[in-house]
Structure 1
Amino acid sequence: MDRTYIYLYIFSCRTNVNELAASIAADEPLVTPNVIPQLAESLAKLQTKISNANNHRFHKYKTLKTHLLPLTNVAFDRRGKRCITGSYDRTCKLWDIDFGKELVTLEGHKNVVYAVAFNSPCDDKILTASFDKTARLWSAETGECYNTLWGHTAEVVTVQFNPRRLLVGTGSMDFTARLYHIATGQEVATLRGHTGEVIALQFSSDGNQIITGSFDHSISVWDTRTAKRVGILSGHSEEISNCLFNHDCTLIASSSMDKTAKVWDQRTSSSLATIMGHNDEVLDIAFDYTGHRLSTASSDATACIWDVHSDFKLLAKMEGHREEVSKVCFSPAGAQLLTASLDRTARLWNTDTGQCIQILEGHTDDVFSCAFSYNGDIIITASKDNTCRIWR
């Protein structure tokens, strides 16, 4: 059965639900006038749930003793019922969140599994990237390997599914990104032009573009239909650590080892702002779901939130970690920020005040990754202690 998804990027506890319901009805033919009151009522209930979630304290629910060697990456499926983990032990594992049970182990890579991804919202396929110079496409139900994606001549370190087309993208230390067809596993295009390792990539929401971030200090914008480079974002003086579109793909953000982040106009490939405020490398960035705020994580042991909707000013600074902050992400409602640190903790912060709400403790080594589930009611933290922790 086909499903229609309506993404409420600007929905919050302050949203007028009657106006929003009317707006949805105007844009969606399936929402008829007689159901607008019920829609508004449902939105009001969702607001109550969000408000309660913002005050929720998380508790350790399960510890997934995942791998024989340290983890490299972790990802939720859309429903928050399963997660996948990659590891230096050359495997990827699929887990049932509710029971803390391993569902299947994906075996076949000959070296470190460095990056993992679901094909949300369907979540019936998994993509893995490995230091063995390949990526692999797997069934998320049976663990069967559908295709091995060949072509790179060095480690593959980043992968993503195209949200609208039957393509996947890969980035490699061989200075290239590549596009492959999901059904056949055949290479569609090699994206050449970077003069350094490609360590980050993301598709636009319509699937027609992909951005790649490189150690050559630049970000490239590519048209996936023609495999041509249509923009080069230059201005950073050191390696790129991450690059992202905002939700409507009008902006691109980048973070760099040069201690700055930048915000770019996607249409003109011009820099709108250079965000300065950290005194060490900026390791990660994240947009909130409205695309109006950007968070940065730094080796200086802080995270910051910036206004990218108007004047790019500093909105909040999160101080309290004792070592570098390696990962940052907003809660779906945007009221909380989650950070992961080498000080063996993850922390939850109030995005308005910058105050620490809760410290998630218990890992015995660096916490290098963290994520909210799509609904925001579950958190996962991944550590070099070979475990993941589920918090509810």
Structure 2
Amino acid sequence: MITLGNEKQISTQLALVSFITSFQKSEEKVQVIVQHWVRISKIKLGWIHEFDKFVANYLSTAPTFDTFRSSSKLINTFTGHTRVVWSIDYSTFDDRPFICSGSYDKTVRVWDVDNKKQIQSLDGHSSNVYCVRFSSYHYHNYRQNVICFSSNDKSIHFWDFKHNMQLEIFNGHTECVYGIEFSPFNGGRYLCSGSADNTLRLWDAGTSKSLHVFNGHTDY
């Protein structure tokens, strides 16, 4: 049975839908719907059909990979690696954009995007490089241009590419380290790593210490 209170709630929801449809098609619409629905979920009136139609319409007009591909163009190609490139990262230092890359050729390379040139290469590493990440933590705290990379030698390396100097090595994994990622909080101070030893490890880039080992995975 629909009560006067329920009619008001339904009317409010329909008014919201009408208001949302006046927006440009963007993620903001979906956020408004979800946030509002969460707030009124305790009412337990069920899902309004207009929401179904709205979401379906949004998805049908959302950009697809084909749309992106047809409107995109190749800006530049950086060549230098001699084998498969496993990982890349992008960042800016002193308002200059850089790309770093790690490869199966056992090198880490840094490219100046504006000048379209390779500016640094870490050669002589003993193992394949699987993952590379720029460290915003080292830049903002120590003004160092640092790349962190993981490899098949079971370790994680920190390299100051401006001065071509290795800073430190994190050891602890017992198999190759496939992935690393800096935290999006605390200024990127914390580093997470994933290894073929079936563990995740959390590191403090400020103290160079391992904070925790996450076990539970049965395969890498």
Q: TM-score range by the shorter chain?
A: 0.5 to 0.7
Aligned residue for 1:180, secondary structure, equals helix
Could you list the per-position Cα deviations for residues 185-230 of structure 1 after superposition, in whole angstroms to 9, with x for gaps in the alignment?
xx524xxxxxxxxxxxxxxxxxxxxxxxxxxxxxxxxxx4xx2x33
Aligned CA RMSD, in angstroms, stands at 3.3
2:149 matched to which residue of 1? 296
2:59 is aligned with 1:146: yes
Alignment of 1:153-302 (within 5 A): 180-181=67-68, 188-189=70-71, 224=72, 227=73, 229-247=74-92, 250-276=97-123, 278-289=125-136, 292-302=145-155
Could you list the per-position Cα deviations for residues 132-169 of structure 1 after superposition, in whole angstroms to 9, with x for gaps in the alignment?
xxxxxxx9x96999359xxxxxxxxxxxxxxxxx9666
CA drift of 1:295 comes to: 1.1
CA drift of 1:255 comes to: 0.9
1:305 matched to which residue of 2? 158
Q: Aligned in 2, Cα 1:359/1:270: closer, same or farther, shift over 3 Å?
A: same
TM-score calculated relative to the size of structure 2: 0.62
Aligned residue for 1:146, secondary structure, equals helix
- Any gaps of 5 or more consecutive residues in structure 2? 1-26, 32-51, 140-144
Identity of aligned residues (%): 26
Paired residues of 2:88 and 2:132 also in contact (CA < 8 A): yes
CA drift of 1:352 comes to: 4.0
The AA in structure 1 aligned to 2:86 is S
CA drift of 1:269 comes to: 1.5
Counterpart Cα distance in 2 of 1:180 and 1:244: 24
Paired residues of 1:278 and 1:300 also in contact (CA < 8 A): no
CA drift of 1:268 comes to: 1.5
1:91 matched to which residue of 2? none
CA drift of 1:260 comes to: 1.1
Paired residues of 2:96 and 2:114 also in contact (CA < 8 A): no
2:211 is aligned with 1:364: no
Q: Aligned in 2, Cα 1:314/1:277: closer, same or farther, shift over 3 Å?
A: farther
**Structure richer in helix, relative to its length:** 2
Q: Aligned in 2, Cα 1:145/1:280: closer, same or farther, shift over 3 Å?
A: farther
1:154 matched to which residue of 2? none
Aligned residue for 2:126, secondary structure, equals coil
Q: Aligned in 2, Cα 1:327/1:277: closer, same or farther, shift over 3 Å?
A: farther
2:177 is aligned with 1:325: yes
Counterpart Cα distance in 2 of 1:265 and 1:234: 12
Could you list the per-position Cα deviations for residues 98-148 of structure 1 after superposition, in whole angstroms to 9, with x for gaps in the alignment?
xxxxxxxxxxxxxxxxxxxxxxx86959xxxxxxxxxxxxx9x96999359
Paired residues in the alignment total 163
> Greater relative contact order (Cα 8 A, min sep 6): structure 1 or 2?
1
Q: Aligned in 2, Cα 1:306/1:322: closer, same or farther, shift over 3 Å?
A: same
- Any gaps of 5 or more consecutive residues in structure 1? 1-120, 126-138, 149-165, 170-178, 182-186, 190-223, 367-392
Counterpart Cα distance in 1 of 2:28 and 2:108: 33
Q: Aligned in 2, Cα 1:145/1:264: closer, same or farther, shift over 3 Å?
A: same
TM-score calculated relative to the size of structure 1: 0.37
The AA in structure 1 aligned to 2:189 is A
Q: Aligned in 2, Cα 1:360/1:236: closer, same or farther, shift over 3 Å?
A: same
CA drift of 1:236 comes to: 0.8
Counterpart Cα distance in 2 of 1:249 and 1:143: 42
**Structure richer in strand, relative to its length:** 1
CA drift of 1:334 comes to: 2.4
Counterpart Cα distance in 2 of 1:361 and 1:326: 16
Decide which structure has the larger Cα Rg and report it. Answer: 2
The AA in structure 2 aligned to 1:284 is C
Counterpart Cα distance in 1 of 2:29 and 2:108: 32
Q: Aligned in 2, Cα 1:255/1:122: closer, same or farther, shift over 3 Å?
A: farther
The AA in structure 2 aligned to 1:250 is P
Aligned structure 1 segments of 4 or more residues deviating by more than 4 angstroms: 121-125, 141-145, 166-169
Counterpart Cα distance in 2 of 1:147 and 1:188: 18
The AA in structure 2 aligned to 1:267 is D
